[in-house]
Amino acid sequence: MKEQSAKAVESAAHAFKSGAVTIRATLLAEGLELAEATGRAGNLESMTGLLEQIRREYLAVVSELEATPQR
């Protein structure tokens, strides 16, 4: 079960990272890259702090996008 969870984390982080890179959310992409590597290594115990970092950066990106004027 742990191996499946780690693989799911790796896969989700990879997909989310691709979107972050597309919109040039560099810090978010870097955090997701670490999450992807952590999932690949199966080291889910260290994810708690990393997930909080990703959450904060995600919220900052969303806030920035909401403040951007629409064309």
For 12-51, give the DSSP string. HHHHHHHHHHHTT-HHHHHHHHHHHHHHHHT-GGGHHHHH
* 14-69 pLDDT per residue, tens: 999 999 999 999 999 999 999 999 999 998 888 888 999 999 999 999 999 999 88
Q: Nearest 5 degrees, angle CA 9-CA 10-CA 13?
A: 80
Cα dist from 6 to 11, 22, 52, 62, 63, whole Å: 9, 24, 17, 26, 29
Name the CA radius of gyration of the chain, rounded: 13
The model's pTM:
0.88
Whether pLDDT at 1 is above 70: no
Domain boundaries, the chain: 2-67
